């Protein structure tokens, strides 16, 4: 049976508000089983992790369950899954830890395409260590960031390269395995921001070639927390600042303070929910990793069909520029309206029950490089719950804006 988007939507209470949502790249709406997991965690005895009593054991089980679920999602080892407050926080912490080994003459490479959370932590850590920052550019016409762009930024003293798995502004998906090969050939470590990518495609740490990868469950139907994935052997070699009494075990060494157990329970539930979107042919008893890979194939096919429907509709409208043009990309479209502001378009859509925000979405460098300054554009993002009806509402509201909307600026 084909992907049943209405069955997915029926499980997400927030969608009952009725608006057509295209704001998923900023954060998705939450399925009931994910909400239930938070309630379940808090409605049962819960204590600091341990084995002495039920509360301690419940916390222990929640953490183990969440590590195993996120490991399945990211094709990683559960012992290499680190939880934190957000991807931004985890990237800052990792940058400070790695920078302990950097010094003058070393080079740290960031990309112009990235969200600022995969740029500024590296720049600030490099500056504190006296290391040099180099930039990977991208083509503003095609929005492609190619291995050649990366090659130009590498040198004999490159220590780390940070590149997005997919741009949250344009949807561009760089060729990560090819980039990883170049980075490792230069003797550097490769950090991938998979926050946007992991919401749209199945991810496998080793296949990507990343040494570190971050993602944020609230972008894929889960709660507001962050995840860092790496190889446990690599994490063993790193020594973040930590409290004296806290464990030095990996991955706990990287997790400062008490973990948000209820959010980890919800992150686990979100992964299970995604795995449940695999076509029935996959079988409910197949290993979760296999069901996740199959589910993302189905999600990608569903979202791509909707993206094509949007692009076809946009092509028939005058007065809109579509910036998302990379050959490989997520179903995330950045639009501007020559002579009119994207913020105005967003307001017009909101008044018609269509949520599509306008901003640079913290991809400030990318927005400026595209010639869009700090204002950015209107972002139309899809999620596993997006429907054809949503798309038609969007296209109608945009057509209305472009024809009968307020006068041109
Ligand atoms: C591509 C990308 N990277 C990083 C982030 C930051 O994630 P977090 O809010 O978990 O710090 C976002 C958030 O929008 C994002 O879209």
pLDDT at residue 280 in the model: 83
**What confidence score (pLDDT) does residue 282 get?**
77
Angle at CA 397, nearest 5°, toward 396 and 399?
A: 65
Q: Is the CB of 117 under 6 A from ligand 1?
A: yes
The tokens for 4 are 């049943």
- At 137 the three-state DSSP class reads coil
Query: From the CB of 214, is ligand 1 less than 6 Å away?
Result: no
Residue 175 alpha carbon to ligand 1 centre in Å:
20
CATH topology identical between 5-30+288-404 and 34-273: no
Region 82-100: what's the mean pLDDT? 98
Q: How far apart are CA 199 and CA 133, in angstroms?
A: 29
pLDDT digit string, tens, across residues 143-193: 999 999 999 999 999 999 999 999 999 999 999 999 999 999 999 999 999
- Ligand 1 atom with the smallest distance to the CA of 85 is 10
Is the Cβ–Cβ distance between 136 and 163 less than 8 Å?
Answer: yes
Q: Give the phi and the psi of residue 191 in degrees, each rounded to 5.
A: -110, 125
Looking at residue 31, its pLDDT comes to 98
Place of tokens 């940070």: 162
Tokens of 290: 């296999």
Q: For the residues of 329-385, what is the DSSP string, one character each?
A: B-SEEEEEBTTB-HHHHHHHHHHTTEE--EE-TT-HHHHHHTT-TTT-EEEEE--TT
Burial of 252 (0-12, 13-18, 19+ CB in 10 A): middle
The predicted pLDDT at position 359 comes to: 98
Name the CATH topology of 5-30+288-404: 3.90.1150
**In whole angstroms, what is the distance from residue 365 CA to residue 367 CA?**
5
27 CA: nearest ligand 1 atom: 14
Say whether 96 sits in a helix, a strand or coil.
helix
Spatial distance between the Cα atoms of 156 and 401, rounded to a whole number of angstroms = 52
**Rounded Cα–Cα distance for residues 38 and 267 (Å):** 9
Write out 108-121 in H/E/C secondary structure: EEEECCCCHHHCHH
| Spacing, Cα 86 to ligand 1 middle (Å) | 8
Asked if residue 379 has its Cβ within 6 Å of ligand 1, the reply is no
Label the pairing between strands 189-193 and 158-164.
parallel
Strands 332-336 and 377-381: antiparallel
Rounded distance between C-alpha atoms, residue 11 and residue 33, angstroms: 8
**23 secondary structure, DSSP code:** B
CA of 399 to the centre of ligand 1 (A): 31
Structure tokens at 79: 């012992």
| Protein residue closest via CA to atom 13 of ligand 1 | 26
pLDDT in tens, 321-371: 999 999 999 999 999 999 999 999 999 999 999 999 999 999 999 999 999
Out of 23, 26, 88, mutate this one to test ligand 1's pocket (max ligand atoms within 8 Å of CB): namely 88
Ligand 1 neighbourhood includes 224 CB (under 6 angstroms): no
Q: Is 196 in the pocket of ligand 1 (CB under 6 A)?
A: yes
8-state DSSP, 200: T
Across all residues in the chain, what is the average pLDDT? 97
Shortest-distance Cα residue to atom 16 of ligand 1 = 168
Neighbours of 38 (CB within 10 A): 19
CATH topology of domain 34-273: 3.40.640
Q: Is 184 exposed, middle or buried (0-12, 13-18, 19+ CB in 10 A)?
A: middle
Cα 293 to its chain centre, rounded Å, is: 17
Burial profile 348-364: b = 16 or more Cβ within 10 angstroms, e = fewer: bbeeeebbbbbbbbbbb
Query: Is 80 exceeded by the pLDDT of residue 404?
Result: no
Angle between the N-to-C axes of helices 261-275 and 288-315, in degrees from 0 to 180, rounded to the nearest 10 = 70
The atom number, within ligand 1, closest to the CA of 25 reads: 16
Q: What is the pLDDT of residues 267-305, one digit of tens each?
A: 999 999 999 999 987 778 899 999 999 999 999 999 999
Say yes or no: CB of residue 170 within 6 Å of ligand 1: no
- The residues spanned by each domain of the chain are 5-30+288-404, 34-273
Q: What is the four-CA torsion angle of 43, 48, 51, 53, rounded to 10 degrees?
A: -50
Residue nearest to atom 7 of ligand 1 (CA): 87
Q: Check whether 409 has a pLDDT greater than 80.
A: no
- pLDDT tier for residue 74 given thresholds of 50, 70 and 90: very high
Atom of ligand 1 nearest to the CA of 218: 10
Neighbours of 371 (CB within 10 A): 9
Give the 3-state secondary structure of 190-222: EEEECCCHHHCCCCCHHHHCCCEEEECHHHCCC
What distance in Å separates the CA atoms of residue 382 and residue 360, rounded to the nearest whole number?
17
Q: Which numbered atom of ligand 1 lies nearest the CA of 90?
A: 11
């Amino acid at each position: 049976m084909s992907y049943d988007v209405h069955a997915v939507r029926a499980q997400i209470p927030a969608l009952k508000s009725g608006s057509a949502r295209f704001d998923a790249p900023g954060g998705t709406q939450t399925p009931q089983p994910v909400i239930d997991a938070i309630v379940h965690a808090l409605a049962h005895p819960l204590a600091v992790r341990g084995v002495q009593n039920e509360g301690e054991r419940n916390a222990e089980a929640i953490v183990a369950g969440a590590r195993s679920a996120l490991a399945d999602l990211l094709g990683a080892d559960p012992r290499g899954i680190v939880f934190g407050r957000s991807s931004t926080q985890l990237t800052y912490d990792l940058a400070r830890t790695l920078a302990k080994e950097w010094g003058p003459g070393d080079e740290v490479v960031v990309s112009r395409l990235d969200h600022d959370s995969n740029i500024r932590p590296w720049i600030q850590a490099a500056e504190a260590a006296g290391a040099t920052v180099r930039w990977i550019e991208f083509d503003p016409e095609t929005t492609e960031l190619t291995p050649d762009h990366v090659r130009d930024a590498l040198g004999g003293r490159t220590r780390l390269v940070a590149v997005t798995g997919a741009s949250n502004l344009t949807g561009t998906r760089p060729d990560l395995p090819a980039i990883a090969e170049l980075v490792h050939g230069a003797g550097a470590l490769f950090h991938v921001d998979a926050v946007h990518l992991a919401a749209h495609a199945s991810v496998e740490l080793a296949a990507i070639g990343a040494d570190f990868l971050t993602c944020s469950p609230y972008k894929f139907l889960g709660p507001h927390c962050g995840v860092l994935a790496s190889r446990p052997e690599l994490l063993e070699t790193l020594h973040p600042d930590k409290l004296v009494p806290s464990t030095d075990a990996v991955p706990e060494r990287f997790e400062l303070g008490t973990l948000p157990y209820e959010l980890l329970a919800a992150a686990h539930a979100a992964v299970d929910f995604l795995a449940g979107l695999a076509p029935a042919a996959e079988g409910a008893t197949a290993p979760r990793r296999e069901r996740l890979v199959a589910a993302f194939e189905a999600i990608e096919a569903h979202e791509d069909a909707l993206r094509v429907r949007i692009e076809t509709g946009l092509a028939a409208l005058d007065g809109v520029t579509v910036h998302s043009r990379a050959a490989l990309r997520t179903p995330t479209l950045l639009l501007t309206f020559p002579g009119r502001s994207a913020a105005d378009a967003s307001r017009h859509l909101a008044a018609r029950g269509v949520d599509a925000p306008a901003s640079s979405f913290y991809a400030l460098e990318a927005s400026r490089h595209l010639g869009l300054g700090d204002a950015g554009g209107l972002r139309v993002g899809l999620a596993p719950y997006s429907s054809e009806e949503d798309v038609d509402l969007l296209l109608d509201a945009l057509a209305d804006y472009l024809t009968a909307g307020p006068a041109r600026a």
